[in-house]
Each structure stands twice: as C-alpha cells, then as structure tokens.
Structure 1
Amino acid sequence: MEFYRPEGAIRGFYHFYPGVVTVVGVEAERVNFMPAVWNTGLSASPPLFGVSVSPKRYTHGLLQKARRFSASFHPKDQAGLIQHLGSLSGREVDKVQALGLAYFRGDTGVPILEGAYAAYELSLVAVYPLGDHDLFVGQVVGVWEDRRMLDEKNRPLFPLLYYGGGLYGEAGATFVP
C-alpha cells in the first residue's frame, strides 16, 4: 500500500463503493427525479434516512422547498434508466416528459418512480451542510414494497449497485464468514 495526504478531493473517491443507488423523487416547481448513491439509513427508531445532494444540483433547491420527498430503490435491470436520469439536469429539461417516466404519488403525495423494489416517503427533518454536499435527513413516514423482488427478510433480490464513473453491477454470491 502507498500513502498520500489528500489536498482537496481524493483521487478516484470510490473506495467505499459499490453502493446501492436510490432515486430521489421530489416536486416543487415540477416533478423531478435524481439518482443518488450517497445515501444511508441513519436510525431505525424513529426511521431516518439520508441522502447527500450537492447545492449545485437542481434537486437541492426542490428538496428545500418541498420539505418532503421519496427515495426509491431499483433492480439491476433499470441501470440504463438510472444512468440516463443522472446524465440530465432537471434545470435544463423536464425529465418526466423527456424520458417518458412513469411514476405514482405516494400516500403523502410525493412522486415515486415506477419499477422500484422498495420506496420510502420522507418528511424532511434536517439539512446538514457537509463539505461539498448537504445531507438531507428525512423521517420515513411511508414504505412501499414489491414483495416479488424481496427475500423473506426484506432484502432485495436484484439490487442495482453503482461502482462510480458510470459503471453498474449486481450483487454476487453471499456467504457467512
């Protein structure tokens, strides 16, 4: 191994990848969807989930205005759609119209992209500025599940993994050490 001290950003900041992609759905000026790989569960009780979004992103302002959003998790066969979502800016194009996106409204009215194996409806509880991203913390107020794509413990059977730089993959074999 070799050591270096980063000055600014770490080169190839993918050491903690792969990660499961979530698609953030929000509506303020219009409905918008944005994939985010920097996401995490934060608490089981109360159920809190966080997504990191750069202030440069169109979705950032929508999240601040709407104060509620969705986080959906998609199977590996939707990699092309997710990549396409991330390559367009909602500031420049209405992604729903441009891509012909199918979505439904959750119990709280938030838009949820069709085809997910699970989705959370979230109520924004806090925003933490952390470096070049802000962490949006939402309390889970509703859960949607497609049981056909989950195992008996609610684990996804075919999660979409993101390796960075436009590279996607799937989960390999599981094992108990």
Structure 2
Amino acid sequence: MRSYLPQGPLPAFYHYYPGVPAVVGVRLGEKVNFCPAVWNTGLSADPPLFGVSISPKRFTHGLLLKARRFSASFHPHAQGALIHWLGSRSGREVDKGQTPHFLGHFGVPILEGAYAAYELELVEVRPFGDHDLFVGRVVAVWEEEGLLDEKGRPLPGLSLLYYGKGLYGRPAEEAFTP
C-alpha cells in the first residue's frame, strides 16, 4: 500500500465512496431547481436533522440561502441517467423545473420516482472548506412503501450509488447480517 502526505487538495477524494446521492430540491418564487448531493448525512434523530454539503459555486446554493426550505430525495438506480443529467447541468443554464416533480406539504419540490424524501426547514449553514453544510430539520417524510422493507430501509439492490466522476451503480441485491 502506498502513502503520501497531501499538500493541498487530494488528487482523488473518493476512497469513502460509493454514496447514495440525495437530490436537493428547492423553489424560490416560480424557480424550481434540483441538484444531486452525494455529500449528505443524517445528523440527529431527535430532533430529526439532515445535512447536505453544497459548493457556493452551485446555482442551488444561492437558492437555498434565500428559500430556507428544501427537499432531499433518494432514488432507485433506474433513475441514474436522470440524476446524472441533473448533476451535470447548471440551473443557471437549463430549467430543471421541467423535470417531473410535485410540491410537498411545505411547497418544496420533490423529484418524481423517489423511494423516500424529506421536506426540510433550514436550521443552519456552516462553511467547511470549499463547501457549505446546509442543516435542515425534517418537517415531513415521504415514503414509497412498496420500495421499502418493514423497517423503512430501501429494498436490497434498489438504491442508486455514486462512485465519483460520473460513475454510477447499485448495491448487490443480496443483503446480509454478518
């Protein structure tokens, strides 16, 4: 195994991948935008807090700061091409609001086809390096029951995985407890 001491940004920062992208949906006035964020995480169960890391360079960043409400949706691997398209185009240049979606209880856009989604109210934004962490309190949960097991987990083999640099996949369909 080789090692090195990084001087500045890492040449490859994908060792902890794959990750499940959360598609962030935000609406400001009539403008709707979607942005996949693979840097996402649950932060607390009580109160329910969820975080997404977004670069200030992204169009979504400015919308989130102003709208203060957003969604995070999780999608099956069959939607990989759509999620890739959403992540490879800027909302400054294309109207991602034309993508099939619905508005949640609190008016946030949720991308169609998700197996689960959260509606979030922005609690805090903190800068960490070249990204800002947007922390939201979960105010509503959407679940596609036929795609989840009895504990609310996505069925084995369902989730879209992102490996970095445009590479997508899915988990093995066999799940086990060691």
Relative to the length of structure 1, the TM-score reads 0.96
Show the counterpart of 1:78.
Answer: 79
Residues 127-166 of structure 1 correspond to what in structure 2 (within 5 A)? Answer: 127-157=125-155, 158-166=158-166
Counterpart amino acid of residue 78 in structure 1:
Q
Show the counterpart of 1:15.
Answer: 15
Alignment size in residue pairs: 174
Runs of 4+ in 1 over 4 A off after TM superposition: none
Q: Secondary structure of 1:20's match?
A: coil
* Alpha-carbon separation, structure 2, partners of 1:90 and 1:42: 28
Identity percentage of aligned residues: 69
Q: CA deviation at 1:175?
A: 2.2
* Alpha-carbon separation, structure 2, partners of 1:102 and 1:175: 35
Relative to the length of structure 2, the TM-score reads 0.95
Show the counterpart of 1:41.
Answer: 42
* Alpha-carbon separation, structure 2, partners of 1:154 and 1:15: 28
Q: CA deviation at 1:91?
A: 1.1
1:27 and 2:27 matched? yes
* Alpha-carbon separation, structure 1, partners of 2:23 and 2:103: 14
Q: Secondary structure of 2:60's match?
A: helix
Q: CA deviation at 1:55?
A: 0.2
1:65 and 2:61 matched? no
Unaligned runs of 5+ in 2: none
Show the counterpart of 2:110.
Answer: 112
Counterpart amino acid of residue 162 in structure 1:
Y
Counterpart amino acid of residue 39 in structure 1:
N
Counterpart amino acid of residue 18 in structure 1:
P
**Could you list the per-position Cα deviations for residues 82-141 of structure 1 after superposition, in whole angstroms to 9, with x for gaps in the alignment?**
0001111001121223xxx11111000111011000000000000010000000000000
Unaligned runs of 5+ in 1: none
